[in-house]
Structure 1
Amino acid sequence: MTTHFHKKPNTYVSHVQIKVSNLERSVEYYKNVIGFQVLEQTDHTAAFTTDGKTSILSIEEVKDALPLQRGQTGLYHFAILLPTRKDLGNFIQHISELNVPIGAGDHHVSEAIYLYDPDGNGIEVYADRPEEEWIWNGNTVYMTTEPVNFRSLLAKADGTWNGLPEGTVMGHIHLSVADLRKTEAFYTKALGFEVVTRYGSRALFISTGKYHHHIGLNTWESSGGSPAPENSVGLKSYTLVMDNEEKAELVKKNLKELGHVVEIFEEAPKFGGSQAFSTVDPSGIRIVFTLDGE
C-alpha cells in the first residue's frame, strides 16, 4: 500500500468538491456505480465517505447548471486510490456487471480505470503498484500508458464488492490548465511541489515526498482557455493538506509575493478542516488549504 504518500509531512489532496446539475441523479451514481456511502446530505449538497467519518468528495447542485464546454480550464479528472490491486479487480468486476463504459491505462506506477459522472466530470479509480517497482531516474519517475491486463486484474477479484473499501483516499487530481509554464511556476514556487514527470510540452506531473503525482496538469484541450462560468457543472474547489502552521504561513507569504490573493475563511469549511485559507491558481481553479489531515 502506498497511502503514506497521503499523510503528513507530504502536501496532498484530501478532498474534491464538484458541481452537478441534478443532485439526486449524482448521488445515485456515486453510491451505486462508484461505491461511496453518503456521509451527509442536504437539499442541494452531498458529502461522500468510505469510512463513515471523513469525506473525500462532495457535490453541490447548481441551479439551471450549464454543461461543460471544450476549451475550459478546470477538472480533467479526480482520482480515487484503492488500497490494493484486489480492490481494483473487484471494482472492475462490479462496473462490468453494470455495463458502464470505461477507459483504462497501465501507467507502470499504477493501473487505472476512467469514467465520467452524469455531468461529464472525469473520474479515475486506480491502484498503485508497489513503490519499489517504480523506476526513478534522478528526480524523474517513469510513467507511460499501456493497455491494462484485465485478465490479470480480474484474477485478483474475489467477488466481494461492497462499495469503496475503507482506506480509499483521494489519490490525486488532474487539472486542465491554460498555460503550463505559468502553472508550473505557481505550483513549484508558491506551493512547494516538485515536477516528477513531463509528457512533452503539454503536460506535467508534480508531487511531494517522491509520489508519482499528487497533481497532474495539462493543456491538451485547455491551452489559452478560461474557467467555466460559476453556474456551470465541474470543479468547485479542491483541498490541499499542509504539514504545519509554518508551512501554511510560508505558502501564504509565497502567494502574496507572487501577486495571488489569499482569502482567509471566517469559519472553516465543513469538509476542509481548520486553519483554512484559499487562493485561485493561474487557470482560475480554487484551492483550499488546511492543516487537518493525517
Structure 2
Amino acid sequence: MTPYTIPAQTRIGHIHLKVADLDRALAFYRDLLGFELITMYGDQAAFVSAGGYHHHIGLNTWQSKGGPPAPVRAAGLFHTAILYPTRRDLAIALQRLIEAKYPITGASDHGVSEAIYLNDPDQNGVELYWDRPREQWPLTADGQIEMYTRSLDLHGLLAEAAS
C-alpha cells in the first residue's frame, strides 16, 4: 500500500500565540513588522494579517496575561517563519528592524533561502525569510535539495532595500 502524503497544495494558514501584553505584541507585529490589524476580541485578542486575509497571526492573553515567557529549555514553538515574497521585501524588513534598534539574534543563508532571526517581545522565536527561486536551490550530486547554514551577507541584503 502506498503511504499517504499530504496534498502538495496544503499550506499552514495561521499561527496563534499566547502573549503577556497585547498592546506590546501589536506594537511588534503590527507597528514594526507591518501586519495589518483585522479585528480585536475585546482587549484579550487581536488578529493580524498581510493583504487582508482573515488572519495570519492570532495574539491572545486568555491564559498568559502578565505571564513570563515560555522556558527556553522546554518543548514548544521554536520559531514562527514569515515568508516574504522578494529579497527586497526582506531587506526592507531588516532595515526597519535596524532603524528601530530591534535586536536581531541571527542571520543565515540556507541555500534555498535567506533568513533573519529575532524574538518577539514574549521571546517567541521569529524567522523573517525569502525563498530563492527553485531553479537556484542547491542540489546534491544525486539531485536532493542541499540546505546549509552559512553567514548571511547583511550588507548585500541591505543594498536591496535601497534599490
Shorter-chain TM-score: which interval? Answer: 0.7 to 0.9
Per-residue CA deviations over 1:67-118 (Å, capped at 9, x if unaligned) read 3113211110010000001111111111111111112111111000011111
2:93 aligned with 1:94: no
2:145 aligned with 1:146: no
Residue equivalent to 1:52: 52
Report deviation, 1:132.
0.4
Unaligned runs of 5+ in 2: 1-6
Residue equivalent to 2:3: none
Residue equivalent to 1:26: 25
Residue equivalent to 2:138: 135
TM-score, normalising length from structure 2?
Answer: 0.85
Q: How many residues are matched?
A: 152
Secondary structure (helix, strand or coil) at the match of 2:81 reads strand
CA-based RMSD: 1.8
Secondary structure (helix, strand or coil) at the match of 1:141 reads coil
C-alpha distance in structure 2 between counterparts of 1:98 and 1:108, whole Å: 28
Q: Which has the higher contact order (CA 8 A, sep 6+)?
A: 1
Q: 1:176-215 maps to which residues of 2 (within 5 A)?
A: none
Q: Structure 1 residue runs of 4+, over 6 Å off? A: none
Q: 1:3-22 maps to which residues of 2 (within 5 A)?
A: 9-22=8-21
C-alpha distance in structure 1 between counterparts of 2:160 and 2:68, whole Å: 41
Report deviation, 1:136.
3.1
Instruction: Give the alignment partner of residue 109 of structure 1, picking from 108, 112, 123.
Output: 112
Report deviation, 1:63.
3.3
C-alpha distance in structure 2 between counterparts of 1:134 and 1:11, whole Å: 21
Q: 1:76-91 maps to which residues of 2 (within 5 A)?
A: 76-91=78-93
The amino acid that maps onto 1:47 is F
Secondary structure (helix, strand or coil) at the match of 2:135 reads helix
The amino acid that maps onto 1:88 is L
Report deviation, 1:154.
1.4
TM-score, normalising length from structure 1?
Answer: 0.49
C-alpha distance in structure 1 between counterparts of 2:54 and 2:65, whole Å: 27
Unaligned runs of 5+ in 1: 1-7, 160-294
The amino acid that maps onto 2:99 is E
* Contact 2:21-2:66 within 8 A present in 1 as well: no
